[in-house]
Amino acid sequence: MLVVRNIGQLVLPRFDAETGRPRVETIDRAAVLIDGGRIAEFGPAESVDVPADADELDAGGGCVTPGLIDCHTHTVFAGTREHEFVRRIEGQSYAEIAEEGGGIRVTVEAVRRASVDELVGLALPRLQRMLGNGVTTVEIKSGYGLTVDDEIKMLRAVARLRSLQPIELIGTCLAAHTVPPEFADRRGAYLDMICDDAFLRRMANERLAEFCDVFCERTAFSVDESRRVLLAARRHGLTPKIHADQITQMGASRLAAEVGAVTADHLETIDADGIAAMRRAGTIAVLLPGCSFFLGVHQAPARAILDAGVPVAVATDYNPGSSMVESLPLVMSIACTQMRMTPNEVMVAVTVNAAAAVHRRETAGAIDADRAADLVILDVPDYARWMYEPGRNCVRTVIKGGRVVHRRQD
């Protein structure tokens, strides 16, 4: 048994699905007792019954939160795209660069050249740094292979990474990221290939992916094409997700509601109809403030989405093109200052609601009796202070499944 004692503030994020309101309960001067990797007891220190032989971990009066969940990432990739970063600073837009054959396709070429081992070698240190930022669960999308074999190769890299580091990894098939150049004049044939039963069956049966995502955008796939991909995936037990309303308003968030997508992600250009459709369908909005920060464009209307009672999650969108931002705590700060989300809304968005976004509501994102003990110990006394200090790592210790998996060197 392990007891985490001397906790200055224990953070218990909650989301009330009926009212659509996030809220954070806190317990001051708390303790958490862990047994067999699970939370056995938690509460005010004096109320927790600690066996005499329990090991002790002193939280130093710091704040303790659930392990963070990064529910939208493209962490497996090869190559970098700083030349596009410079072109954007000089005035070109993300869409213009994509239209000129840059963007996603540049990373596709690098990923196609890489072996599974190389992809694993590149992603492993990224995941180790994410762990050091307090992240204990990460969703990772394919989408830079764009052939049957290369998409499977990316998700095999995710599978291999599971056994090499402690973060729980969740795979998403994003074969509908863009039409690869060799199919430029045969879009239909590319769609036939990624909607093919044998391909989708492998994704589901080999547990390579639990979700299927599409980039519904003028430079990628139309609403009708996206619908076709998501309905085919759904028949094979893959849950739909959509990159929706990022640059062009095409009704993608309404499509998310229509096909029963668990999330609609991005939403920088969502309109009132899209927000209402998501609220009715219970679709989770995954907001990606690091992406707009990185591209230097306007943020999603977080306040309108929150105030409508739509559940909101926040993630990094970590990828080499539109969000070379691997730090979820930095993105949490950006959500506060650039989207006017309150620290308690953000705390819920990266725990409880992020867990729901990847179908882990019952197992991750909360501190509850009998749940796996995924905890972050901070060197600050409360969680608002974490977001108040962007760019400084406030994470001292990370616990995954009851085991200390990261200790900051200082």
Both structure tokens of 35: 């047994």
Counting residues that bind ligand NIG (by CB under 6 A) gives 13
Residues 283-322 interacting with Fe ion (rule: CB under 5 A): 317
Give the C-alpha separation, 2 to 33, whole Å.
6
Q: In the bound complex, which residue of the shown chain has the CB atom lying closest to Fe ion?
A: 317
The residue (of 4 and 328) whose beta carbon lies closer to ligand NIG is 328
Give the C-alpha separation, 305 to 269, whole Å.
12
Torsion-angle region of 203 (φ positive above 0: left; ψ -120 to 50: alpha; else: beta): alpha
Q: Is 217 in the site for Fe ion (CB under 5 A)?
A: no
Counting residues that bind Fe ion (by CB under 5 A) gives 1
The per-residue DSSP string of 317-336 comes to --BTTTB----HHHHHHHHH
Q: Which stretch binds ligand NIG (CB under 6 A): 125-133, 189-197, 314-322, 345-353?
A: 314-322
Q: Is 319 in the site for ligand NIG (CB under 6 A)?
A: yes
Rule CB under 6 A: choose which of 203, 238, 291, 387 binds ligand NIG. Answer: 291
Q: Is 251 in the site for ligand NIG (CB under 6 A)?
A: no
The residue (of 63 and 194) whose beta carbon lies closer to Fe ion is 194
Cβ of residue 371: shortest distance to ligand NIG, in angstroms?
30
Q: Which stretch binds ligand NIG (CB under 6 A): 1-9, 164-172, 197-205, 313-321?
A: 313-321
Q: Which residues, 6 or more positions from 303, have their beta carbon under 8 angstroms from its beta carbon?
A: 339, 340, 341
Determine contact, residues 386/380, Cβ cutoff 8 Å. yes
Q: Is 268 in the site for Fe ion (CB under 5 A)?
A: no
Q: Identify what 13 binds: ligand NIG, Fe ion, none; CB under 5 to 8 Å per kind.
A: none
Short-list 13, 49, 52, CA closest to 31: 49
The per-residue DSSP string of 83-120 comes to HHHHHHHTT--HHHHHHTT-THHHHHHHHHHS-HHHHH
Cβ of residue 359: shortest distance to ligand NIG, in angstroms?
20
Write out the residues near Fe ion by the rule CB under 5 A.
Answer: 317
